[in-house]
Homo-oligomer: A and B are copies of this chain.
Amino acid sequence: MNQNLIFTNDVEAAIGRLTASRDHNLTVVIADVNTARFAPSRENLIIVADGDAGKTLEAVCHVWDEMERLGVTRHSLVINLGGGMVCDLGGFAAATFKRGVRFINVPTTLLGAVDAAVGGKTGFNYHGLKNEIGAFAPASDVVISTRFLDTLPVEEIKSGYAEVIKHAMLSDRNELLRLLEHDFDAPIDHAAMLQRLRHSVQVKVDIVTRDPNEQGERKALNLGHTVGHALESLAMQRGKPVPHGYAVAWGLVTEAVLSHLLLKFPSEDVHRLGQFVRDNYRGFPFTCDDYDELLALMRHDKKSKDGEITCTLLAAIGDYRIDQTVGTDDVTAALDILRDLLGM
């Protein structure tokens, strides 16, 4: 994994240097309907719908068609300017157009910055299954900033923040405790937030570098996501989508409970995390009637094997264990405790 990461709040200058430093015949920008206004020009701009529901094969075809119309070649440069959806979709479209056009990611959301933009996973949803089709294809450069965060609704910030919490859970208890004191109602301290992004992204980079194609250790980054993806998929199937990071936050608590049940992860940390999620990630739309469907979705997860449910769990903050098989009863118990912790 060879990605050039640039942490800066002078995004325009960084993009300018990147586009000037290489011999490209054409630069095109892929943005969604919200982020198109940040594009340096209306020319050579490809616009897609926003939101995960738009991350479809039809949208990929639209990008391919536009790339053809604009005359993109293997010597062109694609800039993905948007959240995780734009980075995932635009990255896949660029990585497969003529078998690969160089692309850079400029994430405009917190979630995009700490998750989708870095590490080389691209793809789209297929038949309602999240990222069912995709490729491992890293952006050559990623420009990470807090420059766009003030324009986002607080739900978006919270959504990305769940991944920041995940990275701290995988690496550093002191950082986690700092994160759990965050006040989403206060104005963003950009210098401090950029520092947190730097810390958070580094956790992901360290893991991905050791295992770019998810053969092993990279599964650590799946913490919270076996349960989280199932919650997100079910909400989407029911036509009541929830923000990705909310599902991840609920998944992190559930898998922390599982970690406590199976690996003696300290209950004190379960409760601190649960309290923060209860206070900040409201609106959990599930009941015990949904458990069977959720369990079926977990068995269908990309990382599952032989129909078993596997998670990444923690023996302690920073001490993760991949490929943990969990039983149906454990998951059911953990979901009960989650609902209790959330006050549902």
Contact = CB atoms under 8 A, between A and B. Distances in A.
* Copies held by the complex: 2
A68 interface: yes
A64 interface: yes
A131 interface: yes
Contacts of A123: 96, 99
A25 B310 CA distance: 15
Contacts of A96: 96, 123, 133-135
Interface stretch (A45-53, A297-305, A334-342): A297-305
A7 interface: no
A134 B99 contact: yes
Given A68-B127, A127-B68, A99 B305 contact: no
B98 A132 contact: yes
Contact of A99 (B25, B57, B136, B306): B136
A95 B135 contact: yes
A42 interface: no
A121 B96 CA distance: 11
Contacts of A3: none
A97 interface: yes
Given A127-B68, A306-B25, A135 B99 contact: yes
A197 to B, nearest CB: 25
Contact of A133 (B74, B97, B126, B214): B97
A305 B132 contact: no
Interface in A301-340: 302-306
A148 B304 CA distance: 37
Interface string A124-149: 00110101111111000000000000
A261 interface: no
16 contacts: A25-B306, A64-B126, A65-B127, A73-B305, A75-B305, A96-B123, A96-B134, A96-B135, A98-B302, A99-B121, A99-B131, A99-B133, A99-B134, A99-B302, A135-B135, A135-B137
